[in-house]
Amino acid sequence: MPADTVIRTEGLVKDYRVGSRFRGGGSVRALAGLDLEVRRGEVFGFLGPNGAGKSTTIRILLDQLRPTAGRAEVLGTTPRAGGPALRARIGYLPGELRLSGRATAGELLGHLTRLRGGRGAERIDECAQRLDLDLSRPIRSLSKGNKQKVGVVQAFVHAPELLILDEPTSGLDPLLQQEFLSMVREACDDGATVFMSSHVLSEVEEIADRVAIVRAGVVVDVDDVAALRHHAGQQVELVFAAPVAADDFADVPGVEQLTVSDRTLRCLLRGEPDALLKAAARHHVVRWSAQDRELEDLFLDFYRVPPSEVRRDSTEVR
């Protein structure tokens, strides 16, 4: 593994057993040969719909799960061989964070830093303040959003070399999402590598350098975010004062799937909108809208593996 590779998986396969071993239960394939490479110092977005295998991949990196086949390496070692020493270098935010108990948020964070030999204990207050987290409240009385803040604090507070964040912004309101993103940027400025998953492109496109798209347990595309946004395109709708001819727009660069009905033009626009705007400006435009396409639409484009070839038993597994 080259020195600048922080996470690498090769042909990672994970099967879960379902049903009883005694009553002919089968297995479900959550990962079907997943290849991934994350370089030192980058923010890497790991995108896919729920059930695509994001959490499974992440939990293998943390040695919570053991791969059925293939290989995973984190910071130059396998998660299992790396053991506690490897996990000391990783800050992890689980996708389904569950916290309970009578202890206060501050006490729990104190406990978790003690498990790291006290590393980061002095930064708990500062981190909590940034996210507006009240450390004196009992954990079981915290809302989902506040619990998520506890999760974010415990992942960042010891300034790890590698941050592995599973759906980190779920439950955070928009203001806190911005604060979270600035924490990610600062961690990167300090040399950390960030690997974060999401099922929404807009959550990671602002911060990520590169993005992998995972579907049914395989990576179907790896790209930098600008290229991905270009591929994704926007759904554009223009309404004119008078009927227009489709021919006027058919040859505009970046315009696809053009439909013109009477005064309304709809198309998929890839790349810069400049040419389309200039073409439209020759007419009287009364209304316009341009919407980023949803990730799900993106998958339709990125179907390098046709659905029929995806194993039929690749259904949703946490």
Task: Give kind and range of the element (H or E) at residue 198.
Answer: strand 193-198
Which residues in the 244-303 window bind another protein by CB under 8 A? none
Half-sphere exposure of 252 (CA within 13 A, CB side): 26
Question: With CB under 8 A as the contact rule, which of the stretches 58-66, 178-186, 205-213, 299-307 interacts with another protein?
Answer: 58-66
Least distance in angstroms from the C-beta of 265 to another protein: 50
Would you call 315 helix, strand, or coil by DSSP?
coil
- Does 311 sit near another protein (CB under 8 A)? no
Q: How far apart are CA 200 and CA 176, in angstroms?
A: 17
Look at residues 43, 1, 82 and name the one whose alpha carbon lies nearest to residue 211: 43
- The interaxial angle of helices 144-156 and 105-114, nearest 10 deg, is 30
Least distance in angstroms from the C-beta of 108 to another protein: 8
The encoded tokens of residue 181 equal: 């993103």
* Beta bridge partner(s), residue 107: none
> Which residue has tokens 């300090």?
190
Would you call 73 helix, strand, or coil by DSSP?
strand
Least distance in angstroms from the C-beta of 85 to another protein: 7
Which residues in the 70-99 window bind another protein by CB under 8 A? 83-85, 87-88, 90, 92, 94, 96-99
Considering the complex, state which of residue 194 and residue 295 has its C-beta at the smaller distance from another protein: 194
Least distance in angstroms from the C-beta of 210 to another protein: 24
Least distance in angstroms from the C-beta of 122 to another protein: 16
The binder of another protein chosen from 64, 129, 141, 315 (CB under 8 A): 64
Burial class from Cβ neighbours inside 10 Å (0-12, 13-18, 19+) for residue 219 reads buried
Which residues in the 97-126 window bind another protein by CB under 8 A? 97-103, 111-112, 114-118
Would you call 57 helix, strand, or coil by DSSP?
helix
Question: With CB under 8 A as the contact rule, which of the stretches 62-70, 219-227, 271-279, 288-296 interacts with another protein?
Answer: 62-70
Least distance in angstroms from the C-beta of 61 to another protein: 10
- Does 66 sit near another protein (CB under 8 A)? yes
Considering the complex, state which of residue 90 and residue 255 has its C-beta at the smaller distance from another protein: 90
**Cβ contact 228:234 at 8 Å:** no
**Total residues contacting another protein (rule CB under 8 A)?**
32
Which residues in the 146-205 window bind another protein by CB under 8 A? 151, 154
Burial class from Cβ neighbours inside 10 Å (0-12, 13-18, 19+) for residue 216 reads buried
Q: How many helices (H) and strands (E) does the chain have?
A: 11, 13
Least distance in angstroms from the C-beta of 291 to another protein: 36
Q: Which residues bind another protein (CB under 8 A)?
A: 16, 59, 62, 64-66, 83-85, 87-88, 90, 92, 94, 96-103, 111-112, 114-118, 151, 154, 318
